[in-house]
Chain A
Amino acid sequence: MALPIYATPLERIWYYAYRVICALIFLFLIAPILIVIPLSFNAEPYFTFTQKMLSLDPMGYSLRWYDTLLTFGMQAPDVPRDASWWRDAWTNARWVGVAKNSVIVGVFSTIIATVLGTLSALGLSRPEMPFRRTIMAILISPMIVPIIITATGLFFFYSSIQIREWGVPYLGVVLAHATLGIPFVIITVTATLVGFDHSLTRAAASLGANPRTVFRKVILPLILPGMISGALFAFVTSFDEVVVVMFIAGPDEQTIPRQMWNGIRESISPAILAVATILVVISVLLLAAVELLRRRSERLRGL
């Protein structure tokens, strides 16, 4: 949308004003996310830039909040940092523990969501699927229903069947997070199947491939990018979910968001900003992965 030569002066002004407005909106979108990164290196327990930080004095910056993340909850944080110190950190540090829990819950719920979601997306995109619209609406609804309603419903349901007594830790949370992640898998996998040419599978079949080979060699490569980005969406959903965890997890079942929530509610310390920075870095990596997958998928489908 280059500026045409016949533009009036007013239009010229508007052209540049429009760019400035857009730049400001982009700033509004991105600045709050980036601002936590320098602040997490604050040497003082404040949430604002100190004089030393502004003058780029190295004394104003420190890794103390990252250190807190590692040492908080350790049995002997002050001994020299040798192998046994790291072992102590790995087993006892509070934030390391909750990170492990989050990863475990995220991985298992992602596996359930991806397998079930992909299967049903394959079914839903077949032209002969009956009640397509209704079924799709039901399967996407976990994304739409307010999280507090889901959490309330699951709280009653899981306490009535006493799921915590079944001896499988995090079972309730994993199932709930799988439910919340499924809409994302369905949406992304269905998107890769839009315009899917069914003569491809027929051609493969007519050339003698059995259904399993057709799936492995023809369908899977096409939907794989969608599957992976759906899985990443599902993982992020679980990794970031706090309300359901608060309602249905046991008091000792802590995850990163729950620990963050407690930290924010009680006394917010810059250690939270250190966690936030790590999470921002993770989301940058995930975003890059999804972008690469999307491009690959478009190339594969010849879009």
Chain B
Amino acid sequence: MEGRPLKQALARAQSRAKRRALLLVVPLLLFIVVTFVAPIGQMLLRSVHNDAFARNMPNVGAWFAENDGAPTEDAFAALVADLRLARENRTAGEVGTRINYELGGTRSLFTSGARGADDLEPPFATSLVEDDAKWADPQLWQVMRTASSAYTASFYLAALDLTRDGDGNIVRVPEGRAVYLALFAKTFALSALITAICLLLGYPVAHLLATLPLAKSNLLMILVLLPFWTSLLVRTTSWMVLLQEQGVINNTLVATGITDTRLPMIYNQTGTVIAMVHILLPFMILPLYSVMRPIRPHYVRAARSLGATSWTAFRRVYLPQTVPGIGAGALLVFILAVGYYITPALVGGASGQLISNLIAYHMQDSLNWSMAAALAAILLAAVLLLYWLYDRLIGIDNMKLG
């Protein structure tokens, strides 16, 4: 060790300390990458990759690769060859489902086409179309052309209510079939509404907690923390019990004669908003409280003594000091609300569903997994953007729990 310059020894010690710190984090980082980051990445890949058509229809795929424009007799011959292949391998349903995602009502076209493919005689361009006129539809050929490549952007187009017409141009889908953009808009609007209500309810409570003596405020804090610790399903169940047609609130309203008709407060948007505000309110109060607690009362008193009314003193002196708390709470509540699933699924009915519920629908019921992945990717992008903003403005290490 003798004779080594101090600078070098320091650098070495420092890099050793760095390595040791990193070594503590590496196991968890690996764990999270394997059990969380990689699965989500793999899922996102699904939103641009679907080879159900490309894998099972090689001949027509080869024709698409070599030719542009309208289908010729060769193209129909390749299609019939593929349909025969699909019948042999029992993959017609899979192929039809893939095309059906983009052009409704075509799944049965493929299954019945595959059934009858063996009996067809050339020229196929006429015999296939005679069998079912839909085979001549230019839009169908356009969809097959896109699907013949395993990588596709069409699920993202669909998630934004866009589609390709017969000539391959990107156009809006007809009014009646556009669902996704409206749902995204509704999800963001409802989340903003929930955030606003949370702020409106959370601000006075946080202020009260921050100004009371510590012993009292700790006691009242329990009322905020208990909901935070209580099972989400329990809280959702309670709201179902309270808001039902025959529930406690409606019974009270009718018994006291405030209304004659029972209000529909659940299985709609109202139910979703009420229950979600209740669930997310602690996430607003806690960051607000942690910003308000250290604010010293002297400033407001000084403002008052200089002649400000209590409203002016609040607006010009107190409120600006709580802006970091408002930002932290509002961003956190908004991020959590945008991706909410359980509560809308249970109390949302038809009108209170959010984008997460549609992802679940595509995962579990319609089984259009690529579509689910594309919607998830868009939602994830929005959430990560907000998360990045949160980190920039507030810093993740300032997140506190209780």
> Which A residues contact B (CB, under 8 angstroms)?
1, 11, 14, 18-19, 21-22, 25-26, 28-30, 32-33, 35-36, 39, 46-49, 112, 116-117, 119-120, 122-124, 126, 128-130, 133, 135-142, 144-150, 152-158, 160, 175-176, 178-179, 182, 184, 187-188, 190-191, 229, 233, 236, 239-240, 242-243, 247, 257, 260-261, 264-265, 268, 272-273, 276, 279-280, 283-284, 286-287, 290-291, 294
Contact = CB atoms under 8 A, between A and B. Distances in A.
A297 to B, nearest CB: 12
A32 B204 CA distance: 20
B276 to A, nearest CB: 13
B303 interface: no
A17 to B, nearest CB: 10
Interface residues of B, number: 90
Contacts of B43: 149, 152-153, 156-157
Contact of B234 (A46, A175, A233, A279): A279
A141 B27 contact: no
Contacts of A268: 237, 240
B42 A156 contact: yes
B28 A116 contact: yes
B400 interface: yes
Contacts of A128: 14, 17-18, 21
Contact of B341 (A14, A147, A239): A147
B205 A137 contact: no
A155 B364 CA distance: 11
B196 interface: no
A245 B239 CA distance: 23
14 contacts: A18-B204, A33-B235, A47-B246, A130-B22, A144-B384, A146-B338, A147-B342, A149-B43, A156-B46, A187-B401, A264-B233, A280-B230, A287-B225, A291-B218
Contacts of B278: 28-29, 32
Contacts of A136: 396-397
Given A33-B234, A145-B384, A233-B401, 10 more contacts: A18-B204, A35-B241, A129-B21, A141-B36, A146-B340, A149-B359, A150-B36, A261-B233, A276-B237, A291-B222
Interface stretch (B92-100, B121-129, B150-158, B373-381): B373-381
Contacts of B335: 144
Contacts of A25: 201, 204-205
A156 B339 CA distance: 19
A34 B341 CA distance: 24
B103 interface: no
B293 to A, nearest CB: 13
Given A18-B204, A39-B241, A123-B22, A240 B400 contact: no
Contacts of A148: 339, 341, 356, 359-360, 376
Interface in B181-219: 201, 204-205, 208, 211-212, 218
Given A141-B387, A294-B402, A29 B31 contact: no
Contact of A239 (B231, B346, B399): B231
Given A25-B205, A129-B22, A142 B36 contact: yes
A246 B299 CA distance: 53
Contacts, number: 266
Contacts of A279: 230-231, 234
A142 B32 contact: yes
A26 B220 contact: yes
A47 B338 CA distance: 30
Contact of B383 (A119, A120, A145): A145
Contacts of A150: 36, 40
Contacts of B240: 47, 264, 268
A120 B232 contact: no
A179 B36 contact: yes
Contact of B242 (A35, A112, A188): A35
A135 B29 contact: yes
Nearest to A284: B226
A105 to B, nearest CB: 15
B391 interface: yes
B171 interface: no
B227 A35 contact: no
